[in-house]
Copies of this chain bind each other. A is one copy, B any other.
Amino acid sequence: MERVVRHFQEELEALQGRLLEMGGLAEERVRLAVQGLVERDTGLLDGVLQHDEPINELHIEIDNRCFKLLALHQPVATDLRAIVAAVKINTDLERVGDLAVNIAEAAKRYLVHPPVKQLIDIPRMGDIAQSMLRDSLDSFVRRDIGLAHQVLNEDDELDGLKTQIFRELLTFMLQAPATVEPALDLILVSRHLERIGDHATNIAEDVIFMVSALDVRHHAPTHPQA
């Protein structure tokens, strides 16, 4: 029995290691997509568009590891919650990889036009989204609820930036029709980055549930809507 338990813990750690690897790949793809946009480097963007096999292969491998752990070790309590969390986190990270592709596609269209002034706060949104991803995965591995809550707070900042960027770009579009197409693509990029933040938020919520068995999703709003 003790050997089975030790084996289970080893497998669980291996699973976490693979999830971190997947998170690193996803984060790197987001970083490259934003960098390609900022530096107007089509080569970087093409790299993001072409190299999604490693993350897709890891996605399937991690899913299989979760099934195997559930079927062979039939875990309960925290261990069970950790593996179900891993299934969900895996899905979130795969979507982050897809969103990096969406950003690269929008960026390629954007680069066809003259630039819309500066890129406003888009690079900053990219930094926040990446840091949220990193923190959410660290909070999973370290079972760190404080860090998970920090991710939830960062998401508010990201949402605020998205709204602000939308307003600024809308002003450009209304003043100069030539900016309509490129500004539209920047709006899409900012929404993709916001969704990456949403995935990090999902991960943080899963961590809080896993550690405390406390469900922080759908918490009653502090200020009820009219």
Contacts and interface: CB of A to CB of B under 8 A. Distances in A.
Interface of A: 49-50, 53, 56-57, 59-60, 63, 66-67, 70-71, 74, 76-77, 80-81, 84, 87-88, 91, 170, 173-174, 177, 180-181, 184, 187, 191, 215, 217-218, 225
Nearest to A195: B195
A218 B56 contact: yes
11 contacts: A49-B225, A60-B215, A60-B218, A67-B81, A70-B80, A71-B77, A71-B80, A88-B88, A173-B173, A173-B180, A177-B177
Given A80-B71, A170-B180, A174-B180, A50 B225 contact: yes
A110 to B, nearest CB: 14
Contacts of A50: 225
A184 B173 CA distance: 10
In the A-B complex, the 3 residue pairs with the smallest Cβ-Cβ separation, listed nearest first, are A56-B218, A74-B74, A71-B76
A193 to B, nearest CB: 15
Q: Which of A53, A87, A174, A180 has the most CB of B within 10 A?
A: A180
Contact of A84 (B59, B66, B170): B66
A56 B217 contact: yes
Contacts of A63: 215
A71 B73 CA distance: 11
A107 B140 CA distance: 37
A217 to B, nearest CB: 7
Contacts of A184: 170, 173, 184, 187
A181 B166 CA distance: 11
A19 B134 CA distance: 32
Contacts of A60: 215, 217-218
A3 to B, nearest CB: 19
Contacts of A173: 173, 177, 180, 184
B80 A67 contact: yes
Contacts of A80: 67, 70-71
A77 B71 CA distance: 8
A37 B173 CA distance: 24
A61 to B, nearest CB: 11
